[in-house]
Amino acid sequence: MSVIDTMRTSLAALEPINIEIIDDSAKHAGHAGARSGGGHFRLSIVSPRFAGCRTMERHRLVYDALGPLMKREIHALSITAKTPEEV
């Protein structure tokens, strides 16, 4: 299973309506994180679970859902997290 597939599976816990994950790792070739195997990703996620949460709380929910991936497979993650009403 690819890292993106594993990310999607892990993020399912947030009951997303929409997820878009872009792998930007190739743009960061030679970067310290790339040398250790961690990828650079952009995530756009829409979930009703973000209602009433501030940006940092939304990001914490994403980081918690991704758990161990944040230690090895993901070196950098740019997050856009919105509720369905914000889309």
Domain ranges of the chain: 3-86
Q: Quick one: CATH architecture of 3-86?
A: 2-Layer Sandwich (3.30)
pLDDT bucket at 87, cuts 50 / 70 / 90:
very high
Largest CA distance in the chain: 40
Over residues 43-51, mean pLDDT: 98
- Which of helix, strand or coil describes residue 39? strand
Predicted local confidence at residue 29, as pLDDT: 65
pLDDT in tens, 2-33: 999 999 999 999 999 999 999 998 776 665 55
What's the predicted TM-score (pTM) here? 0.89
C-alpha 56: how far from chain center = 13
DSSP 42-87: EEEEE-GGGTT--HHHHHHHHHHHHGGGGGTTEEEEEEEEE-GGG-
